[in-house]
């Protein structure tokens, strides 16, 4: 589902009065003159196109009334800059003359100040114009010379500070002067576009050539020393819809030998270098997960763990100048209590924390781990265990990826409305600053008051779903926390059913994104699915099977995201062991592979190999995350079937993100010869302040957005072809922001691909396994099970170890006919001396007793024999 997020480019004025008073201008310089044909620098100054791209802070909602941009301004604000209307992305040229003009009215009347300024600290002012607005609406015009250049300045009308409340309107805003900007031409490098990181030896290897040629072209794969390793001819593809380029495809999949520094040569061009290796994604798994530690709120970030340049004090713990998050009030008239909502992850480039986006990101980290229980290539989760990430909790006996997910889970639990209060059990939609803050800004330096926003049904169900996951996944590691999650999930789900239509307001976007969603049937389906998988209870099964999503096609051609989450429930019902009837599980799994087949067809149709349509509607805010989520469906289809075509499809989706695209850029910081590094972020603002770092390696940019939803790209890229609607600039929040839900998708797919090693052809299973649960004992506190393994191969097995993972809190008590042990959720059974050999066609059986506190107790989804999956 395409989702539009009004994000943190709306930078409110936070500077002190002494800073704002500095005009830094030669306003009114004698002799300054702007020619009548000088270019206009303000967009939509007559408001004929509605409100966009104007924004406000400290005011009521903006609206166009009788052709004017109007709003309400509270009385009694202490300073003029406590309320304002503005536009970003104003290009200024040092030494050039400009004329600023506008019509302003106010009732009953107020002093205003128009300021052209730097949009972040130290908020340098390039020019100011003082005026008085009353009922008459007289025209204000002033000409001045700008002392400094800035390609993306702010124009702010400061309208606060009056004793009385005002109704304020603007019209005919104009800033003429300077020079028309040169057309922007991105540096796209060599015309041969490849995955700049590399390819798996046994996987697909595809490239794209941008060329005017219409006939097939010769190509050569060359080593780092220039030796020709392979050659062939390209396939002409015509004009690609998304890029507007005439392109050819190259398939060099037949070359399977590992190597480093390889290049592809065609049409007189040499690609960026790349590797062929079974380990190309190993570090990306770690880097993409490490991003979350760097985004943590409420904890000091340790430079010894992720690099000294990323060290910073804890943010939003109520230490001056912070005013949150340990004792946060609600917005006015929302609640009469305060909550401790410390912790969690900063959502994106701003300092807000949003439950619906945090829910999706948490789900994907938890699901990345849960996949290891059922995926044949995941090696039982060894690469995601304890001491695999650089996090403070490493070495505590819990897988580090679960430790990272817990940081957000604890925050989500704290957002629940307390018992005894109205809407108890519901979950507040978000918490963020009262006003937009500038960029860059360290979290510890944020002076804005923080506020809880109203509870919403969507947020409540997000917490219910992820807390239900928490209950089953944390049970082997922290039973008390798992119980707390389970209780919160049940309470939240019941509260959501009692309040099924409480929606976040799309207008609630001052100081943070709205994240509004008025269709929550998909959230109900997802939450019911997770609660059923954790508890096995009939009431949740009844709800999920009654949902219209249960039999619908939940896999959108343009991927799933925070606003459409039915696919999450479907994916887990397909992969997490449960008590669903076999025919129902078969139907559900067929829906996953059916969607994957459609994505494969799209990949074949796209010259750049994307599992997304090529029209402009497929290039939207955060589309890179949706592209990966389609790859997640392909990867899941591979896990379910073992059919390599699905794995190959997931690999090709990553080719696009890592350089095989029209811009020839890797969208992942630190990965590839030419990669994004100036993503929109208050913490990683190197482009604005060289003393700050760029985003850490493994940070994913949102990607091309044909809607051009920030002023910077709107001015820079008008009329761009969809795949070209991106710029690696900190000012472009609609194409180049970071976000936790995009990085969680990257972490999921990177972990999957790292598990594929050399991507060999899937091996034929040489064993079958039957698991029988003989029922409970001790009043339901334990059960007895038996596993029978048959050797379906042609060679005798001489010594064996069988492994599988429980779904929840099950704990081994004793075993017979095998020496058994348990680590986390994984049970390992090794042969006794008398049953070590399994002849072809022969069987071996072992049994065990285990305890459980209740909940779902299905047969495991994967049983391995000596590391190989049994069917």
Catalytic residues: 350, 680, 728, 737
Cβ burial 644-680 (10 Å sphere, 16+ → b, else e): bebbbbbbbbbbbbbbbbbbbbbbbbbbbbbbbbbbb
CA atoms within 13 A on the CB side of 615: 4
Output the CA–CA distances (angstroms, integers) from residue 850 to 386, 816, 827, in the order listed.
24, 12, 11
∠ CA 837-841-846, nearest 5°, is 55
Per the CB < 8 A criterion, the answer to whether 113 and 128 are in contact is: yes
d(CA 641, CA 653): 19
Is residue 791 within 8 A of residue 766, CB to CB? The reply is: yes
The per-residue DSSP string of 171-219 comes to: EEEEEEES-PPPPP------SEE--SSEE-TTS--EEEEE-S--S--EE
843 close to 738: Cβ distance less than 8 angstroms: no
Closest residue by Cα to residue 68 from 135, 117, 5: 135
Strand (E) positions, 705-842? 767-777, 782-791, 797-798, 801-805, 811-816, 819-823, 826-830, 837-838
Query: For the CA atoms of the chain, what is the radius of gyration?
Result: 29
Q: Are 381 and 373 in contact (CB under 8 A)?
A: yes
Let me know: does 35 contact 764? Beta carbons within 8 Å. no
Residues 6+ apart with CB under 8 A from 139: 101, 102, 103, 172
Cβ-in-10-Å burial (0-12, 13-18, 19+) of 120 comes to buried
Laid out side by side, the sheet with 450-452 consists of 353-354, 430-433, 450-452
Give the integer Cα–Cα distance in Å for 439 and 120: 5
Q: Which two tokens stand for residue 871?
A: 């069917």
CA 334 to chain centre: 29
C-beta atoms surrounding 616 within 10 Å: 18
3-state secondary structure of 121: coil
Say how far apart CA 448 and CA 85 lie, in whole Å: 18
Cα(526)–Cα(159) distance, integer angstroms = 45
CA distance 368 to 644: 20
Query: In 3D, which of 320, 319, 293 has the Cα closest to residue 304?
Result: 293
CB 223 within 8 A of CB 261: yes
Contact (Cβ atoms closer than 8 angstroms) between residue 567 and residue 560: yes
Q: How would you list the strands of the sheet with 235-239, edge to edge?
A: 192-193, 206-210, 246-251, 235-239
- Burial class for 236, CB neighbours closer than 10 Å (0-12, 13-18, 19+): middle
Closest by alpha carbon to 3, among 622, 725, 732, 744?
622
Q: Where are the alpha helices (DSSP H) in 536-643?
A: 538-546, 566-575, 582-605, 623-641
Do residues 791 and 845 touch, judged by C-beta distance below 8 A? no
Q: What are phi and psi of 486, to 5 degrees?
A: -60, -40
* Token pair for 420: 């005894």
Q: State the residue for tokens 């002799």.
A: 31
């Amino acid at each position: 589902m395409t989702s539009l997020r009004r994000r943190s480019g709306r930078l409110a004025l936070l500077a002190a009065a002494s800073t704002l008073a500095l005009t830094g201008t030669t306003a009114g310089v004698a002799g300054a003159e702007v020619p009548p044909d000088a270019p206009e620098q303000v967009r939509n100054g007559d408001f004929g196109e509605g409100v966009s791209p104007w924004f406000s802070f400290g005011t009521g909602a903006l609206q166009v009334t009788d052709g004017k941009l109007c709003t309400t301004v509270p009385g009694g604000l202490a300073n003029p800059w406590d309320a304002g209307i503005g536009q970003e992305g104003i290009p200024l040229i040092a030494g050039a003359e400009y004329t600023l003009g506008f019509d302003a009215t106010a009732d009953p009347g107020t002093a205003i100040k128009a300021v052209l300024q730097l949009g972040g600290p130290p908020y340098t002012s390039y020019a100011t114009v003082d005026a008085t607005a009353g009922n008459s609406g007289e025209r204000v015009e002033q000409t001045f010379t700008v002392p400094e250049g800035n390609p993306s300045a702010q124009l702010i009308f400061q309208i606060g500070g009056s004793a009385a409340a005002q109704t304020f309107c603007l019209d005919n805003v104009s800033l003429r002067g300077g020079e028309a900007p040169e057309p922007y031409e991105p540096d796209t490098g060599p015309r041969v576009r490849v995955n700049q990181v590399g390819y798996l030896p046994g996987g697909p290897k595809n490239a794209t050539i941008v060329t005017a040629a219409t006939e097939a072209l010769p190509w050569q794969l060359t080593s780092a020393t220039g030796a020709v390793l392979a050659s062939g001819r390209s396939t002409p593809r015509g004009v690609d819809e998304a890029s507007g380029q005439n392109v050819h495809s190259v398939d060099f999949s037949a070359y399977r030998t590992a190597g480093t520094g390889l290049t592809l040569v065609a049409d007189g061009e040499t690609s960026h270098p790349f590797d062929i290796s079974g380990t190309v994604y190993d570090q990306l798994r770690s880097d993409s997960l490490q991003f979350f530690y760097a985004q943590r709120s409420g904890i000091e970030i340790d430079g010894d763990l992720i690099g000294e340049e990323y060290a910073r004090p804890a943010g939003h713990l109520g230490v001056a100048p912070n005013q949150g998050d340990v004792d946060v009030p609600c917005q006015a008239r929302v609640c009469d209590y305060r909550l401790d909502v410390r912790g969690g992850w900063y959502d994106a480039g701003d300092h807000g924390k949003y439950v619906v986006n945090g829910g999706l990101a948490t789900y994907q980290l938890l699901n990345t781990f849960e996949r290891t229980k059922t995926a044949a290539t995941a090696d039982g989760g060894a690469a995601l265990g304890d001491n695999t990430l650089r996090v403070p909790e490493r070495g505590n006996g819990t897988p580090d990826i679960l430790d990272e997910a817990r940081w957000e889970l604890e925050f989500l639990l704290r957002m629940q409305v307390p018992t005894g209060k109205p809407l108890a059990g519901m979950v507040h939609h978000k918490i963020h600053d009262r006003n937009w803050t500038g960029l860059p800004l360290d979290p510890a330096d944020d002076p804005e008051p923080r506020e809880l926003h109203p509870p919403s049904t969507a947020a409540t169900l997000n917490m219910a779903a992820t807390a239900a996951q928490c209950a089953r996944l944390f049970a082997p590691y922290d039973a008390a926390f798992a119980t707390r999650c389970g209780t919160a999930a049940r309470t939240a789900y019941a509260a959501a059913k009692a309040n099924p239509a409480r929606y976040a307001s799309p207008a609630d976007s001052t100081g943070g994104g709205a994240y509004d969603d008025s269709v929550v049937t998909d959230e109900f389906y997802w939450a019911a699915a997770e609660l059923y998988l954790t508890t096995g209870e009939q009431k949740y099964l009844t709800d999920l099977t009654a949902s219209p999503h249960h039999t619908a096609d939940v896999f959108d051609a343009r991927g799933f995201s925070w606003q459409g989450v039915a696919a999450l429930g479907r994916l887990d019902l397909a992969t997490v062991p449960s008590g669903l009837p076999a025919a129902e599980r078969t139907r559900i799994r067929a829906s996953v592979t059916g969607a994957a087949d459609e994505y494969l067809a799209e990949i074949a149709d796209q010259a750049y190999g994307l599992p997304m349509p090529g029209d402009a509607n497929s290039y939207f805010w955060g589309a890179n995350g949706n592209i990966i989520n389609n790859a997640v469906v392909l990867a899941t289809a591979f896990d379910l079937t073992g059919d390599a075509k699905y794995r190959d499809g997931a690999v090709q989706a990553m080719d696009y993100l890592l350089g095989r695209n029209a811009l020839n850029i890797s969208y992942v910081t630190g990965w590839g010869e030419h990669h994004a590094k100036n993503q929109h972020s208050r913490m990683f603002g190197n482009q604005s302040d060289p003393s700050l770092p760029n985003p850490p390696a493994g940070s994913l940019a949102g990607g091309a957005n044909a809607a051009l939803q920030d002023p910077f790209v709107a001015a820079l890229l008008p009329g761009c072809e969809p795949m070209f609607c991106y710029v690696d600039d900190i000012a472009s929040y609609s194409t180049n922001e970071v976000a936790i839900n995009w990085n969680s998708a990257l972490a999921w797919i990177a972990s999957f691909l790292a598990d594929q090693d050399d991507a060999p052809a899937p091996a034929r299973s040489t064993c079958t396994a039957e698991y029988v649960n003989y029922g409970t004992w001790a009043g339901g506190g334990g059960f007895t099970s038996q596993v029978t393994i048959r050797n379906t191969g042609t060679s005798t097995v001489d010594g064996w170890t069988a492994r599988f993972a429980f779904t929840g809190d099950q704990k081994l008590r004793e075993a017979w006919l095998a020496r058994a042990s348990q680590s986390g959720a994984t049970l390992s059974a090794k042969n006794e001396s008398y049953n070590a050999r399994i002849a072809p066609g022969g069987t071996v059986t072992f049994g065990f007793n285990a305890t459980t506190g209740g909940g779902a107790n299905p047969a495991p989804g994967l049983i391995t024999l000596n590391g190989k999956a049994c069917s």
